[in-house]
Amino acid sequence: MKVESICIRQVDCSLCPKKSEGVFVYRHHRAGQHFAAEKQAQNCMLFLLNGDLLMNSNEYPGTTLKAKQFVLQAIGSKVELLALTDVEYLLYWFTELPVICEEQYKEIINRSEVPLTYTPLTFNSKLSHLFSGLVEYLNEQPVSCGKYIQLKSQELIYILTTYYPMQQMSMFFHPISAYTESFHYFIMQNYDKVKNVEEFAHLGGYTTTTFRRLFKNMYGIPVYEWILDKKREGILEDLQFTKQRISAISARYGFDSLSHFAHFCKDSFGDTPRSLRKRTARGEKIQVIKRSLDLEEQSKPSGKMMLSEEIIEKAATTKVKKAAKGNFPKRKRKDSE
């Protein structure tokens, strides 16, 4: 419910590039409101302001949260909610914490350990005071100021890491470190077994959109770019340090023809596979010369890295435009072997 704003806007904040959306989210629901379990695309803290809320997740199976209690759910975890009474709560979504004291936070994470059971924590007076003003602000302002939200995020983390015991915070933040490790293990075990991003997401039980968002949050680059980088690393290693036939390497990495494989190698390493091997034999160290996507080659339907809609969108503003203007020199065909 919106309240009358005491802040008279002098400018239209909806046009401000520093506006904030979806960091702090205030919600209120009637008793009986149910939210089915779904994987979270970001880390989330839930602060229950009023009422009783039933939570079901790996960390908090069948747990009833009471007013003035809060929990943390890590990125990728599945959470189901049921309002047992009328409820009000505040969500804080984040990828990385706005830590004020890095050393203190590192100490908390280094001491992180799995608790026998996860137990909701209780508001202290400083948290209650923070949320009182923050909820009022979120209700009265249609658009949140990014700078203000950033300051409130820092204040929240400062209160948690300063006014709660370190051991308590170590257990509280454990799901973040645990999930990071498990997600990274899944990625490293399976990235070379899939043909495209969609298959990768399905293998992990994610929707494609959620998987892309999780991966970008974790690694800082889009998943298709990361996989292509790994593909380049593998191809270069096989060409330099194995005696496999070039045709076998091409097939292993999903290229539907040797000409496509040669084109990919020239774009990535500056030369054809045969020439790369000759240069390696002379003791020359080969490196990746370009990390941009070779769109034409990756669009081949039988290739191991198939074209995703994200690459199509990228093409609209990068290589396709440049190629249309004739900015790329024509490549001379060379035998790959």
Structural domain that includes position 299: 221-324
State the chain's mean pLDDT as an integer: 81
- Say yes or no: 53 and 170 in one domain: yes
What tens digit of pLDDT does each residue of 4-21 get?
A: 555 555 566 667 777 777
Which residue would you say has higher pLDDT here, 50 or 111? Answer: 50
Residue 255 lies in a domain: yes
pLDDT band at 117 (very low <50, low <70, confident <90, very high): confident
Question: Which tokens belong to 75?
Answer: 């990125």
Nearest to 95 by CA among 224, 214, 225, 226: 214
- Say yes or no: 95 and 231 in one domain: no
pLDDT value, residue 311? 40
- Say yes or no: 153 and 266 in one domain: no
Residue 194 lies in a domain: no
CATH number, domain at 82? 2.60.120.10
pLDDT band at 71 (very low <50, low <70, confident <90, very high): very high
pTM comes to 0.57
Which residue would you say has higher pLDDT here, 178 or 1? Answer: 178
- Say yes or no: 147 and 52 in one domain: yes
Nearest to 52 by CA among 78, 94, 85: 85
Residue 312 lies in a domain: yes
- Say yes or no: 227 and 106 in one domain: no
Last residue within a domain, chosen from 114, 145, 176: 176
Determine phi and psi for 70, rounding to 5 degrees: -150, 155
Residue 80 lies in a domain: yes
- Say yes or no: 161 and 225 in one domain: no
The domain tally of the chain equals 2
What tens digit of pLDDT does each residue of 159-212 get?
A: 999 999 988 998 898 888 777 777 777 888 788 778 789 999 988 888 888 888
Q: What angle do CA 310, 312, 315 make, to 5 degrees?
A: 110
Question: Which tokens belong to 144?
Answer: 């949140």
pLDDT value, residue 213? 83
Rounded Cα–Cα distance for residues 154 and 134 (Å): 13
Burial zone of 186 (CB within 10 Å; 0-12 exposed, 13-18 middle, 19+ buried): middle
What tens digit of pLDDT does each residue of 308-327 get?
A: 344 434 444 444 344 444 44
Residue 65 lies in a domain: yes
Last residue within a domain, chosen from 141, 156, 176: 176
Determine phi and psi for 30, rounding to 5 degrees: -75, 160
C-alpha dist (Å) from residue 102 to 150, 165, 209: 17, 17, 32
Residue 216 lies in a domain: no
- Say yes or no: 170 and 249 in one domain: no
